[in-house]
Each structure stands twice: as C-alpha cells, then as structure tokens.
A and B are shown apart, each in its own frame.
Chain A
Amino acid sequence: MAVVGPLSRIARLGRNICQNHRLIFNKISQRRGIASCIDPSHGLSDEQKEFQKVAFDFAANEMSPHMAEWDQKEVFPVETMRKAAQLGFGGIYVQPDVGGSGLSRLDTSIIFEALSTGCASTTAYISIHNMCAWMIDTFGNVDQREKFCPDLCSMEKFASYCLTEPGSGSDAASLLTSAQKKGDHYILNGSKAFISGGGDTDVYVVMCRTGGKGPKGISCLVVEKGTPGLSFGKKEKKVGWNSQPTRAVIFEDCAVPVANRLGEEGQGFSIAMKGLNGGRINIASCSLGAAHACVLLARDHLLVRKQFGETLANSQFLQFKLAEMATKLVTSRLLVRDAATALQQNRSDAVTLCSMAKLFATDECFNICNQALQMHGGYGYLKDYAVQQFVRDIRVHQILEGTNEVMRMIISRNLLTES
C-alpha cells in the first residue's frame, strides 16, 4: 500500500501535463517545428546531398546506437569502420586508381560532418586515416601507392599520423626522432607522443630527421607495424576520443627501407603540413557535426522539459541562446566549406583559410555543445545523455592538428609579413 502515495502523485502530475499540453501546443503551433535553418544540405548539389544522406544514414544506424558504449568501454570499432570503408569512406579524397573515392575536399567535409553526428570520436579517427592515405597517394611513388593505398582505402589496414613528440608539439619542426641512412635502410631512433590509433594501427606515417635542424631536415617515412624496433607506450586514459586508442610510438634502432620514404629527403615537413591543411578541415567538420547534433538535442530538450509551469522553449533567454547557437553553427559551416573549396582549387588563401576555419569552427562548435549541455541542466552532466560525450569528444579539436594558438600564428604571420 506504500506504493499508492507516489502513484497518485504521478497521476496528478500526468493530469497537469495533459492540461498544460494544450497551452504549450498553442504557443508553439506558429513554429514550423523543423530545424531547417541549420539543415546542412542547403546549397549542396544533388550528388552531394546523396553523399550526405548515406553518411547521415550510416551515422544514425551504425554509429549512434554504439557511441556511448564505444566511449565507455574504449572500443576501437574496427568492424564498423570497415563497413564505412565499403561505402567508400576509407579514402574519400584518394584517387580511384588505388581504391579511393576521388571526391573533393568539400564532399569530404560534408561526409565527415554527417558521420560525426553518429560518433565524433570515431569520425575523427576515420579522418586521420583518410589524411594518411591521401599523403601516400599524393606524395608516394607508383610502388608505394600500390602497396599501401588499396588496403588503407578498404581499411583492411589502418593508419596513424606521427608528427608530435614529447618535446615538440606546436614547435613541430624541432622534432628529434632521427633517421640515419645505413645502406638501403634508415635507422630510426626516438619517440612520438599522443598518436591516434597507435598500437592498433598497421601503417605509420612518420616525420623524422634525416638532415640538419629545422623543417628542411625532416623526411617522411612509412613504417609498418611489426618492424623490429617499433614498440608502443601504454594506452593513454583520455577525457574523450575514447573510441580510438592513443599511445606513444617508440623507435629503437628501427630499420625502415629507404623505399618507404615519401617524396625526397627534406620534403617531409612540407608533406606533413599539406596533410594537415586537409586534416584541419576534416577536424573542423567533425566539430560541425557534433554541434549540429547538440543543437537538435538541446532543441528537443527545450520542447519537453517544463519548469515554472511551461516548457523551457517558452523562455526568451533560451530561445535567443538557441538562435545564437544556430547562427554560430551555420557561420562555422560556411567558413569550413569555403576553406574546403579553396584547398580543392589550390587558391592562394587556402592555407590561412583552413587555419581560420579550424580555429573558428572548433572553438564555436565546442561552445555550442557546451551550451547545449547547460540547457540540459543536471541531465546534461549524466552519461546517459549524449550531449556530454559530444562536449568531451570535440574539446580536443581545439588542441590537435595544430592548436588554435598555432592557427592564430599562421593567420597573423600572413598579415604581418605582407610588406
């Protein structure tokens, strides 16, 4: 009989909700109730809309249901990523003759943005993998392209990008991992830090020093897992990006064939930076997707949660906040897409625009996700709700692939070195 009290309270609550339902309905019936202002398909070609649709469907069906589990159990979702690769997502902007999809940077941005709504962390790894595949595709010779690209495009093998070291992050050109030529091999010594996929991936694109100090002494080598002298540190425990393992990559007298060098000696830093231009657009696109998902989550919550006798959606403060979030999302998206187009066309402003896009989009989208969490109140802090995972996952986008401070360096240098 102790159960009757709470039950009758719930019944009264239920009656309240039904009575107020009419009130709410009248107030929001003028609203179209469709989030079309942030619809990411505006302005796209029919073909791009098709790409986007596949990516959205894949994200909703194959990634979204597992996003929380992958985060909590720290699962590297190899099978799901291979399914994505079957659709062509393993080498989106890699050329078709080696198994890639041959699409543009803008197509790529659209796809990653859509995939990210399903799981930002996994999509971010897929984008890193794509970047590595592109570097080999673009700077590799015939043999290297044929050896590595098909397996990377199908995700039979996974890739990691190794630039950062314990002693060189933002000051990437000061890296110390050495590669001494001995006959037809380079002997690598040193270590890389924070490598996404490290230990679980098969192909490592490593920037190392073959020459003197500074960027001109750096070359790019492809190192395969299982090479003697290649080992890994412990798996890092991270705040987010838990669906991809992060480890140090350690070289101890690791012999790598000279045949695995991409491009010429001394070209490595340039290759790395060119990879990052696209990588920055990709990471920014992942932030866009997460922010898009969070705006919709916040919108849905505002329509359902009631306090002070009405839904949160009736609060002008929250309406305005939502409008600001939507505006920042669309602004970020426009900048990222323009940067993608600029990079595709090799425009003279491409590099700075990519930096601006990465800086702006990752910052704004994090704020959007964070604001969405706030709008959820206490529920936003619970892991049962997806919004906190998006916040945690995209926080790191403001740091990696060039910190947002480094982005500012690139942009200010462009302005101040103009004579």
Chain B
Amino acid sequence: MSGRVLVGVKRVIDYAVKIRVKPDHTGVVTDGVKHSMNPFCEIAVEEAVKLKEKKLIKEVVAVSCGPQQSQETIRTALAMGADRGIHVEVSGKDYESLGPLQVSKILAALAKSEEAQLVILGKQAIDDDCNQTGQMTAALLDWPQGTFASEVSLEEGKVKVVREIDGGLETIRINTPAVLTADLRLNTPRYATLPNIMKAKKKKITNVKPADLGVDLTSRLEVLSVDEPPQRQAGIKVETVEDLVSKLKEVGKV
C-alpha cells in the first residue's frame, strides 16, 4: 500500500460569523467576510496527521478546490502536519456552482493518480451541510466508505471504523483503499505551532486544473433563491389540553 492519505479541506465562512443573505437573494455575502477551514475538515486533517505520527501511513496530502484563497486553507493543513498540498483551481462561475458532485469527481481522479490508501474528508461542510462528497467519492471509486467516523483503527489491508449513527455506535471493518468521513468526536484538532507554521511555508503546493483531471464541472443544479429563515412568531398560551389539540389541528400540525 502506498501509505498515502488524501485529505480534503474546504474553505468556508467562519463558524462565528453572522451570515447575511445577499440583497438579490442569489446567495450569502462572502466578500470581506472571515473564512476559515471547515471544522470537520480540521478533524479529518488531525486524524491523518495522527496516523502518520503513529507511523501507520507515510504521507498526508491536503487537497482543496477553489479560488486563490483556498491556498490559505491548504497552508493551515500544512501547518497542522500535512506533508504537501494540491490546489485544484476553480474560480468565478464554476466556483459558485461547485458542489459535492464536482468535488467528488475531482477527489476520485486525484485518489487514483496519487494512489491513495485512504481518502479522509469531513462529514459535511458547515456552509451547505450537504454530507454527500464522501459518499459520492466512494461510489465513483467503487471503494468502501466509513462515514460519520468517531474512531478509526488501521489494520493490515483493512480499516475498522466506529460510526456514529442514530441508534448509537456501529462498528464496521472495511477493506482499504477506502473513503472515511470524520465526525465531531473523532478527535480534537491540534493548534498549529509557530515553528510548524514556518515549516509549512517550505512545503509544496501543486496547482492543478479540473480539466487536467478530465473532470467536467457543469452543475446539474440551479439555485433559485436563498432566503433568511422565517421570523420567529410569538407563541400563544392556551388554557387546556383540548385547546392545545384543536389549535394544533387548526394549523395542520396534527
């Protein structure tokens, strides 16, 4: 096995920012807004770096798809311990319509060309909450998937994954190469240290175009509008349980 792990990192609006919808309702305001690495992607990077520190894998490659600024996100991954980065340049209209389908095609192509043993992604991005990229990537590669991972153990030719599911925890054993997606409790991402940030400057980031990977970026989706959630209405107090039930029936909830 190559001992190489591909980690996808996405640049998203920082979780602490108050989101504003654009006046034309085509999306949210991103200009001048603080961006950072998707928190689940941080957990994915941390897991990959941990595997390398345990000497179970040899190289961690951080990948990001997006405009020039995505390189900042790759640098953060390098500062956390990734060995090198790949920046897949996508900008303008292509970037606006970039979604899980396109990204998974890109990741699948890279996983093949890099001969990755594992692809580790965050379970979902906090901007679109799709929770699709990992699963789609696995399907395109015809690889097994261990999603919502809260524990990962590498074994000879296999990986044991404890998954967080609605009913509790499910443990599966799948063959490598495989795609894993990181859930919240998988680990606590480390802070980059000042020396590592400086070392990261010397690590290499290769630029790649989606066309080079033979990926078609056309979106199958069209965003019709983006709106704020409806204003929260005041509640009403009722006197009896019967009143409550009839009110609920009125509104059609029951």
Contacts and interface: CB of A to CB of B under 8 A. Distances in A.
B194 A92 contact: yes
14 contacts: A11-B237, A14-B234, A15-B234, A18-B232, A21-B231, A36-B34, A46-B72, A47-B197, A50-B192, A54-B194, A57-B191, A58-B191, A87-B192, A103-B194
Interface string A98-118: 000101000000000000000
A49 B71 CA distance: 13
Given A18-B232, A33-B20, A89-B194, A49 B33 contact: no
B231 A54 contact: no
A88 B193 contact: yes
A-B pairs with lowest CB-CB distance, top 3? A88-B194, A101-B194, A50-B197
A86 interface: yes
B131 interface: no
A36 B231 CA distance: 26
Interface string A43-58: 0001101110110011
Interface in B189-209: 191-195, 197-198, 200-201
A330 to B, nearest CB: 15
A18 B231 contact: yes
B126 to A, nearest CB: 16
B165 interface: no
Contacts of B237: 11
Contacts of B36: 53
B17 interface: yes
Contact of B17 (A21, A34, A103): A34
Contacts of A101: 194-195, 198
B192 A46 contact: no
A32 interface: yes
Nearest to B76: A50
A18 B233 CA distance: 7
A25 B79 CA distance: 40
Interface in A15-69: 15, 18, 21-22, 25, 32-34, 36, 39, 46-47, 49-51, 53-54, 57-58
B83 to A, nearest CB: 17
A89 B34 CA distance: 24
A50 B192 CA distance: 8
B154 interface: no
A101 B193 CA distance: 10
Contacts of B34: 34, 36, 39
Interface string B142-185: 00000000000000000000000000000000000000000000
Contact of B32 (A36, A46, A47, A51): A36
B76 A53 contact: yes
B75 interface: yes
Contacts of A11: 234, 237
A52 B158 CA distance: 40
Nearest to B198: A47
A254 B96 CA distance: 71
Nearest to B18: A33
> B34, B194, B232, B237 — which one has the most chain A CB atoms within 10 A of its CB?
B194
Contacts of A22: 231
Contacts, number: 67
Contact of A51 (B72, B197, B231, B234): B197
B245 interface: no
A54 B72 contact: no
B29 interface: yes
Nearest to B23: A29
B173 to A, nearest CB: 35
A101 B164 CA distance: 40
Interface in B208-254: 231-234, 237
B29 to A, nearest CB: 7
Nearest to A83: B191
Given A33-B20, A88-B194, A101-B195, A50 B233 contact: no
A96 B195 CA distance: 9
Nearest to B37: A53
> B17, B36, B75, B198 — which one has the most chain A CB atoms within 10 A of its CB?
B198
Nearest to B228: A25
A101 to B, nearest CB: 4
B234 A18 contact: yes
A186 to B, nearest CB: 36
B191 A87 contact: yes
Contacts of B33: 34, 36
B71 to A, nearest CB: 8
A111 to B, nearest CB: 8
A88 B231 contact: no
A399 B155 CA distance: 61
Interface string B43-83: 00000000000000000000000000001100110010000
B200 to A, nearest CB: 8
Given A47-B197, A49-B72, A32 B192 contact: no
Nearest to A15: B234
Nearest to B21: A29
A168 to B, nearest CB: 37
A92 B197 CA distance: 13
A34 B75 contact: no
Nearest to B20: A33
A127 to B, nearest CB: 15
